[in-house]
A and B are shown apart, each in its own frame.
Chain A
């Protein structure tokens, strides 16, 4: 079971700030989506509205065609795990947290949950307050995965975990997604580490949806063009330039957009070097450049 998501002109305003600014997007579901954005870009606000935790100021959130806020039936099919273990009461034991999760979700898989706790080395008897930050994150991950809800959202849930635990999270996420396809959204700024998991990527910046793209398409979009300044300027004229650097007469420019073989040949003829850039750098330039231009 997977969920389709439709956001229309979604806005969230606190007193004098706009946390989410008219976001419209359509996710067909059955995929792993990556939601990327800098701190304070509105990721958590957006995901909280998507999970029915808070009411939008305006616009609409539809999950499988149904509004989610104050809609228990819709919400029971959604699981949002926030960063490092805001799961259950601090004085509850892990066992109790599991029991509550089981009551809340008809799709819950207890056997899988226990297997995950064992892998993450979290004792059932311990209280949530006795767990380390990494263990609390892993407990959240366990609840998110074992809930098997048609829409499962991890909002920086892996932040407190060390590298081996994060690797285990990635492995379990992929394997369980393949065995039980559903709609999964992972928000993160650990782009390099996580990006191979995402089929599609959404970038949020200052409350706005900057782009929504197939991850592999995005990987082919950016390039760094380096060479004599005049030739570089000639080549990038009319292109979307994200960043520029100069060293003497040499200039390096980061461009964003469709780059055809014709572009490549043209660059070659001008004696320019054209190199692909990493998704992480593309993200840095995309979310840095917008700010500068304001």
Chain B
């Protein structure tokens, strides 16, 4: 489930964020308690608590005293904004750098992106996902 290569509390936090983005966890929905989480994934409860604490600080989750933790109504929009911002630094910039190294002109990349976008639209219109149509 979790790997030993990075802090587990961060892996837990990432997983919960992904659940929120995917809609698995909805706004104002209660998340598992620290102890439930620890028992389910067989991790130390303090590690789970640290992850939840971080998410509260980031305003992704909020606490209701004596009841538990819930997903903030704004969590999904906040995460979407963050991921959108990161998309350019994490995906686009490395791609441009790689293209430069192997000598692909920028214009070719743009053409390809436009093609991909168009075929996506067509697929959406025709309602079925035939690949390599053209």
Contacts and interface: CB of A to CB of B under 8 A. Distances in A.
B98 to A, nearest CB: 12
Contacts of A175: 39
A196 B50 contact: no
Interface stretch (A4-12, A62-70, A215-223): A215-223
A170 B2 CA distance: 15
Interface in B2-32: 2-10
The size bracket of the interface on A is 20 to 34
Nearest to B5: A276
A167 B4 CA distance: 17
A198 interface: yes
A277 B2 CA distance: 13
B5 A196 contact: no
Interface residues of B, number: 20
Contacts of A241: none
A195 B41 CA distance: 12
Contact of A199 (B6, B35, B41, B44): B44
A180 B31 CA distance: 23
B37 to A, nearest CB: 11
Contact of A178 (B8, B9, B38): B38
Contacts of A276: 5-6
Interface of B is mostly: helix
Contacts of A174: 38-39, 42-45
B4 A220 contact: no
B4 A219 contact: yes
B5 A31 contact: no
A124 to B, nearest CB: 28
B47 interface: yes
A118 interface: no
A192 B4 contact: yes
A177 B45 CA distance: 9
B109 interface: no
Interface of A: 31-32, 167, 170-171, 174-175, 177-178, 191-192, 195-199, 215-217, 219-220, 275-280
28 contacts: A167-B42, A170-B42, A171-B42, A174-B38, A174-B43, A178-B45, A191-B4, A196-B2, A196-B41, A196-B43, A196-B47, A197-B42, A197-B44, A198-B44, A199-B44, A199-B46, A216-B7, A216-B8, A216-B47, A216-B50, A219-B4, A219-B5, A219-B7, A276-B5, A277-B5, A278-B3, A279-B4, A280-B4
4 pairs of A and B residues whose beta carbons are closest in the complex: A216-B7, A276-B5, A279-B4, A278-B4
